[in-house]
A and B are shown apart, each in its own frame.
Chain A
């Protein structure tokens, strides 16, 4: 069974750094793009970017370029989303999702990581 398991909820202060993770199970992690999606409480889904773990090819949505870093370690089937300096406006649920091989759909999603940034 394909599964994406994300790291637990985080509470941080503005200006702090953070790295959250998404570990894949049940498939060849290196061969599927993994994307990140933000959802501010009560709002819709926003695409942040994605990475191909096989060669770490990374593409960012223009809205998030320069604000976050996406990375992956294929040896441990894990993708990451990190911030160097969090803002209160980064408070949101963050989901990772696997893009189907050869397709356009995100066919498996992580359970989400809630990030709360508050002083």
Chain B
């Protein structure tokens, strides 16, 4: 099954663009989801199908995928974007198991 690799932490200045990556040699044939988890709260879906936004998620959140890496980009970063971000895919062998990346803590300086 896949292993999703995320950097433990990313820092960004306010109003700049944060980029959080998720790497896997099998990510190319899977759709990627991204979840935001603020301290003390449940995860929230921010992107699905690599780049689609659920209703209520700002356009500042965008996603892309190239080769073995998926990227969550957050433009015009705000203090309220500080959170842990997890990428995930569904296991290609069974299609019923989710694989999560280790998570990236985003700090807005």
Contacts and interface: CB of A to CB of B under 8 A. Distances in A.
A107 B45 contact: yes
Interface string A87-119: 000000001010010011111011110000000
A45 B96 contact: no
Q: How big is chain B's contact interface, by range?
A: 20 to 34
Given A45-B37, A59-B96, A106-B35, 13 more contacts: A33-B96, A35-B98, A37-B43, A44-B101, A44-B102, A45-B103, A47-B97, A47-B99, A104-B33, A104-B49, A105-B33, A105-B48, A112-B42
Interface of A: 33, 35, 37, 44-47, 49-50, 59, 61, 95, 97, 100, 103-107, 109-112
A105 B45 contact: yes
A74 B102 CA distance: 33
Contacts of A95: 42-43
Contacts of B101: 44
A109 B98 contact: no
Interface in B60-92: 84, 86, 88-90
